[in-house]
Homo-oligomer: A and B are copies of this chain.
Amino acid sequence: MSKASVPVNRVVLAYSGGLDTSVILKWLQQTYGCEVVTFTADLGQGEELEPARAKAVLMGVKPEHIFIEDLREEFVRDYIFPMMRANALYEGLYLLGTSIARPLIAKKQIEIAKKVGADAVSHGATGKGNDQVRFELGYYALAPDIRIIAPWREWDLNSREQLIAFAEAHQIPVSKDKRGESPFSTDANLLHTSSEGKVLEDPWNEVPDYVYSRTNSPEDAPDVAQYITMDFEAGDPVAVDGEPLSPANLLAKLNELGKLHGIGRLDLVENRFVGMKSRGMYETPGGTILHLAHRGIEQITLDRGAAHLKDELAPKYAQLLYNGFWFSPEREMLQAAIDHSQAKVSGTVRLKLYKGSVSVVGRKSPNSLYSANIVTFEDDAGAYDQRDAEGFIKLNALRLRLLGRRDGK
């Protein structure tokens, strides 16, 4: 193995405590003969983190090299909210729940690497997916000369059986439920849970019920709609039903509501950055509510010019995030443009949640640009002179008329 022949001293591993990254931990120690530093983040994936510590200790990681951090507030405030300001949807539909988590993990790994003097970082993403790209573009952007070890692209453990055999051979505890093959693979954080692989691989087959973990099925949701309000300030949500909440708590609250009402399921075949199509199932309960609500408040507070420019930039922004270019000048440029538009995006949106769908049913704002006065069918007391429309149309038409004349119409 030629790569391993270049010596590594200390590597910071994104460590979940699960089977895969435990095997990686051991494999790194063995293959590179290096110290492993573990980093375990709480991004709201809903798992206990302390067992990861115990497992790391068990595998010989020094206590001072075990980093466990609750990143939920930072994740929502500095990553999810900026993305939501952009109304970003990848390929028209996907709320980018996995993509948005990777840059933060990469950033923290690099910070730790600098702190502990590590010369390498490592992650558990496979060689076919987008996550390897997202992690590594993040690493390289923030530490251009860091060494990256991507075990899935290096080793020969190409099946679950081999992984488990390796684990057993090295006294890595394997929980019972991991022994059998999972019928699909998941990723989870405070924004979403994604599932893909195996039973989902035929895009003609409906996603089986048991794959869903974050939402009720719409059929099981309450038979009565629930109405909620969300308050926004400068483009970000700050309260639900009038109750001010921190970013992470607010998203958690929306997740609860979305789960109850079966909101945010998406069955998608998408185009990966690495060139293939994949089929995934996403559950983004709170994020789906937030996305719609943000559009709702923008409807009355954002000028048309700003709104249309945002709509034109959003697909590119979404592609950048999906492809792993969070830490890139072009993403930051787009963010600067988007954020500039959000200063007055404040007010209240009223939403209806019912059996799988969420609808904006009302919006109000001290910054509203909507003027019933002007738009009214009733007498507007001169607020708008309908005769202006004639000149407006005639000058907009002028080039088309010149064209029509030339073309003999």
Query: Is B141 in contact with A400, judged by CB distance below 8 angstroms?
Result: yes
The minimal Cβ–Cβ distance linking A28 to chain B, given in whole angstroms, is 17
Tell me which residues across on chain B come within 8 A of A270, comparing CB atoms. 299
A334 touches B (CB below 8 Å):
yes
CA distance A97 to B327 in the complex (A): 33
Return the chain B residue nearest A278 by Cβ.
B375
Give the interface SS of chain A, mostly helix, strand, loop or mixed: mixed
Tell me which residues across on chain B come within 8 A of A253, comparing CB atoms. none
Please, what's the 1-or-0 string for A319-355, where 1 marks a CB less than 8 Å from any CB in chain B?
1000001011110111011111100100000101011
Instruction: Enumerate A349-401 residues with CB–CB distance to B below 8 Å.
Output: 350, 352, 354-357, 359-364, 367-372, 374-379, 384-401
Query: Is B152 in contact with A386, judged by CB distance below 8 angstroms?
Result: yes
A144 touches B (CB below 8 Å):
yes
Considering only CB atoms and an 8 Å cut-off, how many residues of chain A contact the other chain? 132
Return the chain B residue nearest A347 by Cβ.
B204
Given known contacts A201-B375, A307-B271, A396-B137, is B327 in contact with A300 (CB within 8 Å)?
Answer: no
Given known contacts A206-B350, A336-B340, is B87 in contact with A276 (CB within 8 Å)?
Answer: no
Return the chain B residue nearest A361 by Cβ.
B206
The minimal Cβ–Cβ distance linking A376 to chain B, given in whole angstroms, is 6
Query: Is B305 in contact with A141, judged by CB distance below 8 angstroms?
Result: no
Tell me which residues across on chain B come within 8 A of A392, comparing CB atoms. 133, 274, 391-392, 394-396
Segment with Cβ contacts to B, from A52-60, A65-73, A231-239, A309-317: A309-317
Query: Is A402 in contact with B133, judged by CB distance below 8 angstroms?
Result: no
Query: Is A267 in contact with B132, judged by CB distance below 8 angstroms?
Result: no
